[in-house]
Structure 1
């Protein structure tokens, strides 16, 4: 990675502060910086992103309240079985993140992939207008105010996402800054609350268990808010197979390119492998004296095209020497293909 970048471990930093009210030259500069980061690294720290600090603090507060609930309370909003609906509470061991796309008849391979469990829990939230993926809410009396806050937070994140999509459209050379927005109504986005509970450090180091294995995201872009614990790692594009720490940066979000934006851009923008693993300098001794990781909380916001959107090479990303590398694909079909290995068709018992 470029050692001259102002971020941490070579991940660039882009300041969106003057995007809304800056001059045309300011906008071009920001769009160029953002697109260059997505082209070279696929990950970028974004500051002055438009989501207020106090709102983020409240969101993390609600997330902790949620995951502090007894298991039987969280299970009042269980994630539906199978890969087609990503909503509600996923208990540890239910989801298995993988970069492998399994085909029909490969159940044995799927079972082998699941032998190392992902030790994390999550809660997925979407738009109330998404009929294909209806929300699964906790009863209001279990966590009063949670539903109202998360609904507000979901749409506030989308306001910031729209500006990032506009900047990327300008950066790749599209004539219309709103071009990508015609495919993104916000209805098909996903807000995810994530909790990685403390785990045995030796088991994690020996790959007996996992937090979140290396993978790319499926959608257009992801906006990640993370606590100070660390553990997120990004593959170095110049050194395949080697990962660097995406060290938390106060009041910044981490944005990364998803698979569909990479397809749209004909590989001009990179969907980079990333994972959550052993956190540097964030371990402690438990009551038995064993070394464990500390708990980690993060909030990714996945920005996805509408289910019927057709993703095909952007005119600005093709030329006589750069022909389209991918066949057109419908978002819903791609999502189901990628999701098949993460959630089993049959229900998985909580533990």
Structure 2
């Protein structure tokens, strides 16, 4: 079974008037993809490949800077937000049972202009990251609306819990630029990114052509999730699974090491959509399959696991 490709053109960014029957048809396709796999490719979203390439280009310039130029922007150095900033190679273990992941990242979790953003050698870094963050936000809200329709719910039910995306004191949504450097030495059991599920509502993923991303399907088998230029890969995350009482299940995924002799680097952009910090996530069908949980509490507990080393 492969990951479905769904055409999002009827509700792409920039379109304001969409008929109810077209949204219903789109929601049916989305529900099928998310119940069968937990992942889906969306094409014709309004975010084009040129936009993605621009973010990846400025991000790579940052990642290629000497470490002493990146260190001042480290995650944990920003009092306004615990998750904002640079994460060095092997700092994070998304599967805590494995050694640190062979990747580095820059988390854009706040859009504030009055903090210290990378600039030397990476002109427009803040502007490019912030602009793409807002584009992803707009697309995410459209996807969440269609998801609500797919479940027969009020179209606003998920949107009402995502009102503060981009506000660092009220919502943890993060645009994460990821860089996987050349693999030179590997510890036992180490991967570029260990097996994990995402934490929030949904995640938008954009990839460079180099492979490695794998998704665990419903049969317990890992399948490849390659880059499809111009398309965005979207997956269900943990809080959405709780919210929907397992109608939509958060799919485990990982990034493998490259084949022996492959010296290519890899990049991706992940937009992790998180409900507002104070949102209480409880089963939308009224059941008690999962106990209610505050969004920020769940997020911080997962951070603790990933950064415990």
Name the residue aligned to 2:251: 272
Name the residue aligned to 1:78: 74
Is 1:18 the counterpart of 2:10 in the alignment?
A: yes
Is 1:180 the counterpart of 2:158 in the alignment?
A: yes
RMSD over equivalenced CA pairs, Å = 2.3
Q: CA deviation at 1:136?
A: 6.4
**Which segments of 5 or more consecutive residues in structure 1 lack a partner in the other structure?**
2-9, 101-112, 284-289
Q: CA deviation at 1:23?
A: 3.1
The secondary structure found in structure 2 opposite 1:157 is helix
**Which segments of 5 or more consecutive residues in structure 2 lack a partner in the other structure?**
none
Aligned-partner Cα distance in 1 for 2:138–2:116: 23
Name the residue aligned to 1:236: 217
Name the residue aligned to 1:194: 178
Do the aligned partners of 2:191 and 2:257 also contact (CA within 8 Å) in 1? no
Which of 307, 327, 350 is 2:277 aligned to? 307
Aligned-partner Cα distance in 2 for 1:135–1:194: 24
Do the aligned partners of 1:216 and 1:273 also contact (CA within 8 Å) in 2? yes
Q: CA deviation at 1:22?
A: 4.3
Once the two structures are superposed, what CA deviation does each residue of 1:132-188 show, in whole Å capped at 9, x if it has no partner? xx99643434522111221111111101111100100100110x2122111102132
Aligned-partner Cα distance in 1 for 2:307–2:288: 31
Alignment of 1:256-335 (within 5 A): 256-279=235-258, 283=259, 291-314=261-284, 317-318=285-286, 323-335=287-299
Aligned-partner Cα distance in 1 for 2:210–2:125: 24
Q: CA deviation at 1:89?
A: 0.7
Alignment of 1:201-212 (within 5 A): 203=186, 207-212=188-193
Aligned-partner Cα distance in 2 for 1:124–1:313: 30
Aligned-partner Cα distance in 1 for 2:114–2:94: 21
Task: After the TM superposition, list the runs of 4 or more consecutive aligned residues in structure 1 that deviate by more than 6 angstroms.
Answer: none
The secondary structure found in structure 1 opposite 2:228 is coil
Name the residue aligned to 2:40: 44
What is the total number of aligned residue pairs between the two structures? Answer: 297
Is 1:118 the counterpart of 2:101 in the alignment?
A: yes
Aligned-partner Cα distance in 2 for 1:184–1:18: 23
Aligned-partner Cα distance in 2 for 1:97–1:57: 26
Is 1:54 the counterpart of 2:50 in the alignment?
A: yes
Q: CA deviation at 1:292?
A: 3.7
Name the residue aligned to 2:23: 27
Name the residue aligned to 1:252: 231
Once the two structures are superposed, what CA deviation does each residue of 1:267-319 show, in whole Å capped at 9, x if it has no partner? 0001011000034xxx5xxxxxx7244210000000110100000011xx35x
Once the two structures are superposed, what CA deviation does each residue of 1:99-147 show, in whole Å capped at 9, x if it has no partner? x6xxxxxxxxxxxx36x23111100011336xxxx99643434522111
Change (3 A) 1:74 1:170: same
Is 1:94 the counterpart of 2:86 in the alignment?
A: no
Change (3 A) 1:223 1:171: same
Do the aligned partners of 1:226 and 1:297 also contact (CA within 8 Å) in 2? yes
